[in-house]
Amino acid sequence: MNILVTGGAGFIGSHIADAYIEAGHHVVVIDDLSTGHKENVNPKAAFHKLDIRDPALQDLFVSQPFDIVNHQAARGNVRASMEDPMVYADVNVKGGIRLLECCRRYGVKKIIYSSTGGCVYGELRYLPADEMHPIQPRDPYGASKASFELYLPVYKINYGLNYTILRYPNVYGPRQDPLGEAGVVSIFIGQMFRRLRTVVNGDGEQQRDFVFVSDVARANLLALDKGDGEAFNLGWGHGVSVNRIFDRLKEMTDYPLDKIHGPAKLGEVRHCYLKAEKISKEMGWAPQVDFDEGLCRTVDFFRPIFMGQR
């Protein structure tokens, strides 16, 4: 199949593009490189530096047919969205609609959309959250991702554009930006290898469901021909505290310093972990890389990068 991956130079998108190429598909990647990196792009993929809001997006669809669009491109920082909600609506909603218009005009069969189970559900009423949990985001990022979900059934009903929604938990692994503002695992690793003081927001007992990036890529591979017209959680169904992450990474990196506790962040959900029975039953997906193994793989990826800088 011919597949377009938006945000394919980013952390998750590049792993998805790799999985599609390994499975024998032809992949085109677009990314504006605002947070992605060209070196993440598989050399077997065709790459175009392009923002999904750019009218030139249509030219790409005119130039070649796509069977599937995998939509990973988004602004994805909860804290930044609190500061500038208009940008998050512009990219994640209006940019997404521009993409949908290209899909319906140029014969795309299906769009696979990366949503967020960590933010669309808000503060959970019950744990673990299943797909029937009320949508009640607490930040503009989560609101923008939930808003775009509502457009997908509209385009399916009116134009026959199929879709699958994957609601991600906290994803971690190689290529995640350790110098960014999101992704606690990679940020802690970067700080520890550089021997910087590591700040834990709040008391550190907030819990998240952490899934390794290769498991997320595998779900996107399964979604090529499964899960039509449905939304699915990814997750382990149990949480891991920020304090536990710090303690395990401290051991793995031989970090000599103690953590510092800072103030809790505005809009941050206290506990969030996701029930993934639906995708297990309908698509045969379950996470395979347990948390300690995933941390080891991630530390091993970053070790040569940072050890050379000390």
Long-range CB pairs of 45-51, under 8 A, 24+ apart, other chains included: 45/5, 45/8, 45/17, 45/21, 47/8, 47/9, 51/95
Quote the strand ranges of 50-198, DSSP E. 68-71, 110-116, 162-168, 170-172
Q: Cα(254)–Cα(310) distance, rounded to whole angstroms?
A: 14
Q: How many CB atoms lie within 10 A of CB 17?
A: 31
**Which of 190, 180, 188, 193 shows the shortest CA–CA distance to 310?**
193
Catalytic residue selected from 88, 113, 121, 141:
141
Report the sign of the C-alpha dihedral through residues 172, 174, 176, 177, in that order: positive
Contacts of 266 (CB under 8 A, 6+ apart): 79, 82
Q: How many CB atoms lie within 10 A of CB 83?
A: 11
Which DSSP letter does residue 256 get?
Answer: -
Is 141 assigned a catalytic role?
Answer: yes
Structure token pair of residue 204: 């550190």
Catalytic residue list: 141
